[in-house]
A and B are shown apart, each in its own frame.
Chain A
Amino acid sequence: MSLAKAAQQEHRRDLRIPLAAILVVVALAAPFIGSRYVTHSLIIALIFMLPAHGLNLLVGYTGLLSLAQAAFFGIGAYTAGLLAVNYGTPFYMNAAAAGLLAGACALPLGVPALRLRATSFVMCTLGFVIIGQAIAKNWISVTRGDMGLSAIPKPHFALGPLSFTVSGTTSFYYMALAIGALSTLAVWMIVRSPAGRNMIAIRENETLAESLGVPTWRYKLIVFIISAIFAGVGGSLYVHYLTVVSPLTFQMYYSTTMLIIVLGGGAGTISGVVFGSLLFVGLTEALRITPELRMVAYGLCLLVLVFWFKKGFAPVINRFWDTIGGTK
Chain B
Amino acid sequence: MFSTIIEQIVNGIVTGSVYAIVAVGMTMIFGVLRAINFAHGEYYMLGTFGAWFAVDYLGLSYEASIIVGLLSTIVVAYVVGRLVMQRMVGAPAEAGVLATLGIALVLQNTVILVFGGGYKFFSGGYIEPLSVLGFSLAGQRILILVVCLLVFIGLELMVTYSRMGKSMRAVSQNVECCEVVGIDVPKVVLHTFILGAALAALSGVLTAPVNVSVYGGMGELITFKTLPIIIMGGLGNVRGTFFAAMILGIAESLVATYVGLQFRDTVGFATLILMLMWRPYGLFSTQARF
The answer on a CB contact under 8 Å between B106 and A296 is yes
The closest CB in chain A to the CB of B114 belongs to A292
Residues of A within 8 Å of B66, CB to CB, are none
Q: Could you show 24 A-B contacts with beta carbons less than 8 Å apart?
A: A65-B97, A115-B277, A116-B280, A118-B93, A119-B35, A119-B96, A122-B97, A123-B227, A124-B272, A127-B272, A130-B269, A131-B273, A137-B262, A138-B260, A290-B113, A296-B109, A298-B105, A299-B103, A300-B106, A302-B99, A302-B101, A303-B102, A306-B95, A307-B84
Interface hub of A116, A122, A300, A303 (most chain B Cβ within 10 A)? A303
The 5 closest A-B pairs by CB, nearest first: A299-B105, A302-B102, A299-B106, A118-B93, A295-B109
Evaluate contact between B113 and A65: CB separation under 8 angstroms. no
Min CB distance, B30 to chain A, in Å?
9
Q: Which residue of A lies closest to B106 (CB)?
A: A299
A28 and B265 CA atoms in complex are apart in Å by: 47
Q: Could you tell me the distance in whole angstroms from the C-beta of B132 to the nearest C-beta in chain A? A: 35
CA A258 to CA B98, docked complex, whole Å: 13
CA distance A307 to B117 in the complex (A): 30
**Is the C-beta of A213 less than 8 angstroms from some C-beta in chain B?**
no
Contact-residue size bin, chain A (C-beta under 8 Å from the other chain):
35 or more
Q: Across the interface, which residues of A come within 8 angstroms of B227, CB to CB?
A: 123, 126
Please encode chain A, from 79 to 120, with 1 for each CB lying within 8 Å of some chain B CB and 0 for all others.
Answer: 000000000000000000000000000000000100110111
Residue B188 interfacial (CB < 8 Å):
no
C-alpha spacing A112/B92, complex, angstroms: 23
Residue A263, interface by CB 8 Å: yes
- CA A300 to CA B96, docked complex, whole Å: 14
Give the docked Cα–Cα distance between A295 and B92 (Å).
Answer: 24
Chain B residues with CB under 8 Å of A147's CB are none
The residues of A with any CB-CB pair to B shorter than 8 Å are: 65, 112, 115-116, 118-120, 122-124, 126-127, 130-131, 134, 137-138, 252, 256, 259, 263, 290, 292-293, 295-296, 298-303, 305-307
| Residue on A nearest B262 in the bound complex, by CB | A138
Q: Which residue on A lies nearest to B265, using beta carbons?
A: A134
Are the C-beta atoms of B276 and A306 separated by less than 8 Å? no
Docked CA distance A241–B251 (Å): 41
Establish whether residues B93 and A296, one from each chain, have CB atoms under 8 Å apart when the complex forms.
Answer: no
A130 touches B106 (CB 8 A): no
Report the minimal beta-carbon distance from A70 to chain B, rounded to whole angstroms.
13
**Contact between B110 and A296 (Cβ–Cβ < 8 Å)?**
yes
Q: Give chain A nearest CB distance to B226 CB in angstroms.
A: 11
Given A119-B97, A303-B103: A134 in contact with B113 (beta carbons within 8 A): no
**Which residue from B95, B105, B262 sits with its C-beta under 8 Å from A256?**
B105
Residues of A within 8 A of B276 (CB): 112, 116, 120, 123-124
Q: Indicate which residue in A126, A134, A296 contacts B266 across the interface (CB closer than 8 Å).
A: A134
Contact B277 A112 (CB under 8 A): yes
Q: Are A130 and B224 in contact (CB under 8 A)?
A: yes
Q: Given the complex of chains A and B, what is the CA–CA distance between A123 and B94 in angstroms?
A: 12
Give the residue name and chain of the B residue nearest to A118 (CB): B93
**B109–A292 contact, CB under 8 A?**
yes
Among A115, A122, A293, which residue has its beta carbon within 8 angstroms of that of B113?
A293
Please tell me if the beta carbons of A295 and B36 are within 8 angstroms of each other in the complex.
no
Known contacts A256-B105, A295-B109; A124 and B93 CB within 8 A of each other:
no
Docked Cα-Cα span, A295 to B99, in Å, equals 14
A123 to B38, CA, bound (A): 9
A269 to B92, CA, bound (A): 21
Given the known A-B contacts A138-B262, A296-B109, are A263 and B273 also in contact in the complex, defined by CB atoms under 8 Å? no
A269 CA to B269 CA in the complex, in Å? Answer: 33
Residues of chain B in range 237-285 having any CB-CB distance to chain A below 8 Å: 260, 262-263, 265-266, 269-270, 272-273, 276-277, 280
Task: Enumerate chain B residues within 8 angstroms of A256, measured Cβ to Cβ.
Answer: 101, 105
